[in-house]
Amino acid sequence: MLLDVEESQLVLVDYQLRLMPVLLDGPLVLANAVRLARLAALLHVPAFATEQNPSGLGATAPELQEALAAAGARVLSKMQFSAVEEGLGEWLRPPPKPVQGNARSLPKHLQKAPAGAERGTIVLAGCEAHVCLLQTALDLLEDEFDVWVVTDACSSRTERNRDAAFDRLAGAGAELVTTEMVAFEWIRSAEHPDFKAAQALIK
């Protein structure tokens, strides 16, 4: 199964100023998060970001803020480690709008299909992998989203914690991918009109 750009939403978790300097491979992880946000902007993938206790950990890193703004991303401030506990799920799958008029007279596709429900694939990356990322991912899986974790855009303070998170996520049913996998699966072909622009972002 390949990622489908039309089914995808991007969620980037807690790339914050006071957290990034203490993380394993922090600059590379942040650079990949920026690439993901820029790909989302290029390919019109809905994007979201979170900030854990921003008064304590600071705002999102400026270079990522810029890329998120270009993608039109919404940013969720939170205190719970799982962003789902703070309402992320409602952002990703908004409740259906009430049907106007006589429902029996409407085509079937207008009677069902809540707004946003058609994008059930969440491309997820963030920090720390074994805390906020893990808890958010497990809650999204429980809410029946398909979760794809971008491993080279995730980190923890230690390799052991990061890798334990990946093991647990794989066991729970998340797909583990890399930034380049996401890019090339979203565009699928060298004939895609945005192929060169996407390729430039990941080189």
How do residues 79-133 score in pLDDT, each as one tens digit? 999 999 999 999 999 776 665 655 555 554 444 444 445 899 999 999 999 999 9
Question: Helix (H, G, I), strand (E, B), or coil: what is residue 60?
Answer: strand
Return the amino acid letter for 8: S
- The gap from C-alpha 168 to its chain's centroid, in whole angstroms, comes to 18
The reply to whether 11 falls in a domain is: yes
In this predicted structure, what is the pLDDT of residue 151?
98
Q: How far is residue 37's CA from residue 17's CA, in Å, rounded to a whole number?
A: 17
In this predicted structure, what is the pLDDT of residue 114?
43
In this predicted structure, what is the pLDDT of residue 45?
97
Structure tokens at 15: 């790339």
Structure tokens at 21: 């300097």
> What is the phi/psi pair of residue 84, to 5°?
-65, -35
Residue 58 has pLDDT above 80, yes or no: yes
In this predicted structure, what is the pLDDT of residue 116?
45
In this predicted structure, what is the pLDDT of residue 202?
86
Identify the domain containing residue 71 by its residue range: 5-93+117-202
Q: To the nearest whole number, what is the mean pLDDT of the chain?
A: 92
When computed from its CA atoms, the radius of gyration of the chain, rounded to whole angstroms, is 17
**Structural domain count of the chain:** 1
How do residues 9-41 score in pLDDT, each as one tens digit? 999 999 999 999 999 999 999 999 999 999 999
- The gap from C-alpha 158 to its chain's centroid, in whole angstroms, comes to 22
Q: Are the C-beta atoms of 160 and 170 separated by less than 8 Å?
A: no
The reply to whether 98 falls in a domain is: no
The pTM is what? 0.89
In this predicted structure, what is the pLDDT of residue 102?
54
The reply to whether 43 falls in a domain is: yes
A 10 A CB-CB count for 4 gives: 13
The reply to whether 180 falls in a domain is: yes
Q: Which H/E stretch holds residue 159?
A: helix 159-172
Residue 51 Cα distances to 3, 11, 34, 140, angstroms: 26, 11, 15, 17
User: Which residues, 6+ apart, have CB-to-CB distance to 13 below 8 Å?
Assistant: 49, 50, 83, 124, 125, 126, 127, 132, 133, 136
Q: What is the CATH number of the domain that holds 20?
A: 3.40.50.850
The reply to whether 100 falls in a domain is: no
Q: How far is residue 116's CA from residue 7's CA, in Å, rounded to a whole number?
A: 10
In this predicted structure, what is the pLDDT of residue 100?
60
Residue 203's pLDDT band, with cuts at 50, 70 and 90, is confident
The reply to whether 104 falls in a domain is: no
The reply to whether 183 falls in a domain is: yes
Residue 3's pLDDT band, with cuts at 50, 70 and 90, is very high
Q: Are the C-beta atoms of 140 and 124 separated by less than 8 Å?
A: yes
Q: Which of 66, 118, 68, 71 is nearest to 92 (CA)?
A: 118
Q: How far is residue 124's CA from residue 89's CA, in Å, rounded to a whole number?
A: 13
The reply to whether 155 falls in a domain is: yes
